[in-house]
Amino acid sequence: MKISINAVPALRHQRGFTLLEIMVVIVILGILASMVVPNLMSNKERADKQKAVSDIIALENALDMYKLDNHRYPTTEQGLNALVTKPELSPVPDNYRSDGYIKRLPQDPWGNDYLIVSPGEHGPIDVFSSGPDAEPNTPDDINNWSLDKKSGDGQKQQ
């Protein structure tokens, strides 16, 4: 009994994907990524600004505790370090807490130190971050005197 070549069912089952199918999937993924990435970047910027606002509020609270104990805010020269270690510059506080007012000073989300001006130009004490550009007195600064209490974005109001 001879088996004809035509009688054997041809193995026409394809395994894997064609190059064209793979290219289509890559293009679709690229289009999706181009729509998602900008949204993620704006979320990161918003989160960084919100972290700076939260840090400034925490620093304000620690500064208020310092003032309650010592009847004055630290001077600009003493800076925020006065919240961690007892200042040696005049005026030296008389009722400084042994463990300070904050465990460690935070840095803003862009890796810069928060700054104070005391007495402040906008209130009893000004607390601010120079923002993403690290340049003080620019529109992207985040500070305690122009915090929008409703949105909490901390941007300078125009």
CATH of the domain at 77: 3.30.700.10
pLDDT score of 78: 95
At 7-58, the pLDDT tens digits run 555 555 667 778 888 889 999 988 888 888 777 777 888 899 999 999 999 9
pLDDT at 70 > cutoff 60:
yes
Domain membership flag for residue 92: yes
Domain membership flag for residue 33: yes
Domain membership flag for residue 10: no
Domain membership flag for residue 49: yes
Taking residues 62-80, report their average pLDDT.
95
Specify the 3-state DSSP secondary structure of 115: strand
Domain membership flag for residue 65: yes
Please give the structure tokens belonging to residue 85. 């270690």
At 126-156, the pLDDT tens digits run 999 998 988 888 888 999 998 755 444 545 4
Q: How many domains does the chain have?
A: 1
Domain membership flag for residue 151: no
Give the global pTM: 0.69
Taking residues 88-115, report their average pLDDT.
93
Burial of 36 (0-12, 13-18, 19+ CB in 10 A): exposed
Domain membership flag for residue 70: yes
Residue 56: left if φ>0, alpha if ψ -120 to 50, beta else—which one?
Answer: alpha
pLDDT at 71 > cutoff 70:
yes
Query: Domain range for residue 51?
Result: 19-143
Taking residues 118-131, report their average pLDDT.
92
pLDDT score of 12: 57
Rounded Cα distance, 20 and 114, in Å: 54
pLDDT at 6 > cutoff 70:
no
pLDDT score of 152: 46
Domain membership flag for residue 156: no
Please give the structure tokens belonging to residue 130. 């120079």
Positive or negative, the Cα torsion across 8, 9, 13, 19?
Answer: positive
pLDDT at 89 > cutoff 80:
yes
